[in-house]
Amino acid sequence: MSVTVFSAQKKAAGFTLIELVLTIVILGFSAVIIIPFFSAITHSPDPVLREKAIGLGQAMMDEITARKWDENSPNGGGPIYTSESPSTAARLFPGSVSASTIGLDAGETAGADKRALWNDVDDYNGVSEPLGGFFYDQNGAQLPGNLTGFTRSVAVDYIASNEPSIDSSTSIKGTATDTKRIIVTVTSPLGETFLLVAVSCNI
């Protein structure tokens, strides 16, 4: 009786080197496409929040720069006496009065919602919003829309007009000059800070 022996090789389970390399290449290409896509989705609210922040700052700056330089400035403009140009003021504009100090004047009420009676740029010094959870326009009406997480503040001070550059770091003067710097600071819910700087001159 004869016995026939069949030898069968068992195929090894697993991936070949070529399959592994192809898999890595495909995953690499996928990552190049997918990661920026998800990153864009994650940061998609950023431009909208930035635009809102800049809009809040610009609206306040437009409102402030439309006001008179000082409480004592004549309607329509015109210089008044300041410590920076006393001889010029005395010679060209006899009877001019000294510039008022920074801040609210008589008859004006503090508060971001009380701005309807404010008439000069330095009345806005110290404004801080939200006030009671709300932002307000120049007439005291609440601004519409979701502004949760935003903040807005204003600083106004005297600076020298002959500074080589005027920005948020320019040194302030302790006495009245012919130039007031206005800084509107807005912070977005993302923690980004936006500074808008303008200058109002005694002319």
At 29 the pLDDT is 80
Looking up tokens 């909208």, which residue turns up?
48
Q: Which sign does the torsion angle of CA 139, 145, 149, 152 carry?
A: negative
Domain that holds residue 58: 52-201
Query: Is residue 108 assigned to a domain?
Result: yes
In this prediction the pTM is 0.76
Question: What backbone torsions phi and psi does residue 200 show, to the nearest 5 degrees?
Answer: -115, 125
Contact between 81 and 89 under an 8 Å Cβ cutoff? The reply is yes
Query: Is residue 161 assigned to a domain?
Result: yes
Residue 106: count of CB within 10 angstroms of its CB? 6
Query: Is residue 147 assigned to a domain?
Result: yes
Query: Is residue 100 assigned to a domain?
Result: yes
pLDDT in tens, 38-81: 665 555 568 889 999 999 999 999 999 999 999 999 888 788 88
Query: Is residue 10 assigned to a domain?
Result: no
**For residue 50, what are its two tokens?**
């930035």
Q: Could you report how far apart the first and last alpha carbons of the chain are, in Å?
A: 125
Kindly report the average pLDDT of the chain as a whole number. 86
- What percent of the chain stands above pLDDT 70? 84
Residue 93: count of CB within 10 angstroms of its CB? 15
Query: Is residue 86 assigned to a domain?
Result: yes
Residue 185 has pLDDT above 90, yes or no: yes
**Domain count along the chain:** 1
Query: Is residue 34 assigned to a domain?
Result: no
At 12 the pLDDT is 56
Query: Is residue 143 assigned to a domain?
Result: yes
